[in-house]
Amino acid sequence: MPHTIASAAIDLDQANLAWAAIIEAKRIGIISHRHPDPDTIGSNLTLYDLLSSMGKSVHSYCVDQIPQTYQFLPQTRGYLSELIPAEHDLLISVDCGSPEQMAFQKTHPTILERNFINIDHHASNQSFGIINIVQTNLSSTSEIIFNLLNYWGVSITPRMATYLLVGLYYDTGSFMHSNATPAVMEMAESLLRLGANQQLIIQNLYHNFSQEKFHLWGKTLEKIKITDKNSAVAVFGNDELQEFHNASENLSGVIDYISMTKESDFAVMISEEKTGQIKGSLRTRYDHINLSDLAGQLGGGGHRKASGFGFPGKLTKEVSWKIIPNPS
């Protein structure tokens, strides 16, 4: 029976429905978004541990491979990239702002017609599940899962606490973003008390730069230009990225440093990591700037202060010159 603790943070009706659906189900698939990040992975594996301990047959899914950087988390090798919806009587998506983020509807167009729980915190989420726990007020899907576990009255193992803490670290920018609320800090405290391995996270998420990554970041930071729209922009063409190994993976996170440029209001990083595919990341430090809208206009999405987009295309370099006559 779910505990009836006061929890204004989540939709309790949907939380009750989700619990009932979980109790009922035998074979459950949990789906992370493409280009998986620690929030979607941590949320997924926490639920994986809970549902396995309840005797369910559970599998974690993601269309993309889990990046090497995050493979320090236990069980990431258990992820499957091929999903057959009919093999499950319940599907749960975590941290997927849209069905496109999940990316399985391409191969399985009727996937959303199934018993489906959508757990997410992105403002762009259109509640595409049958049951929807969409809390745009919370920092991360990990924070939603934490609230759910407490509400459902299930115990959190040290490993689950580590999974949730990694999601919290990532989505709050190491507790530096404005979504690091008092509730987030309390959650971090609880997770540490529950035995979360904080040092494992710090060592692997932050203190593990390869020389190659440093060189790529150095080159990226050198490129920063402030435009007349007060944005700090860095652009990487495909040819420049060829000389770096794992450029795509190694560029992840550098946008947060570009957005520290004090002369700018927001940061833009544009790259052609895969030939013919433009990828953009947007960040701002300011509450009044809505980058979710800007990314939306470019076919992407995300949060007000952190968003991204991608579309097929090429980057070509243009050099412009300005004539400045000497004073006569």
Least distance CB 13 / Mn ion (angstroms)? 23
Question: Is 95 among the residues that bind Mn ion (CB under 5 A)?
Answer: yes
Using alpha carbons, select from 99, 33, 37 the residue that is nearest to residue 60. Answer: 33
Comparison of 95 and 272: residue with beta carbon closer to Mn ion: 95
For residue 179, report the phi and psi dihedrals to the nearest 5 degrees.
-80, 0
Region binding Mn ion by CB under 5 A among candidate stretches 36-44, 51-59, 69-77, 124-132: 36-44
Question: Is 240 among the residues that bind Mn ion (CB under 5 A)?
Answer: no
Question: Amino acid identity, residue 18?
Answer: A
Residues 6+ apart with CB under 8 A from 311: 277, 278, 298, 299
User: Which residue's CB comes closest to Mn ion?
Assistant: 39
Q: Is the dihedral of CA 78, 79, 83, 85 positive or negative?
A: positive
144-183 residues in contact with Mn ion (CB under 5 A) are: 171
Q: How many residues bind Mn ion (CB under 5 A)?
A: 5
CA dist 177 and 200 (Å) reads 22
Residues 6+ apart with CB under 8 A from 306: 177, 282, 283, 284, 291
Region binding Mn ion by CB under 5 A among candidate stretches 71-79, 141-149, 248-256, 308-316: 141-149
Region binding Mn ion by CB under 5 A among candidate stretches 87-95, 110-118, 248-256, 268-276: 87-95
Question: Is 120 among the residues that bind Mn ion (CB under 5 A)?
Answer: no
Comparison of 49 and 171: residue with beta carbon closer to Mn ion: 171
Binding Mn ion by CB under 5 A: which of 18, 30, 39, 295?
39
CA dist 94 and 96 (Å) reads 6
Least distance CB 203 / Mn ion (angstroms)? 22
CA dist 75 and 179 (Å) reads 28
Region binding Mn ion by CB under 5 A among candidate stretches 77-85, 95-103, 223-231, 320-328: 95-103
Least distance CB 278 / Mn ion (angstroms)? 23
Looking at residue 299, the DSSP 8-state letter turns out to be T
Q: Contact residues for Mn ion (CB under 5 A)?
A: 39, 95, 140-141, 171
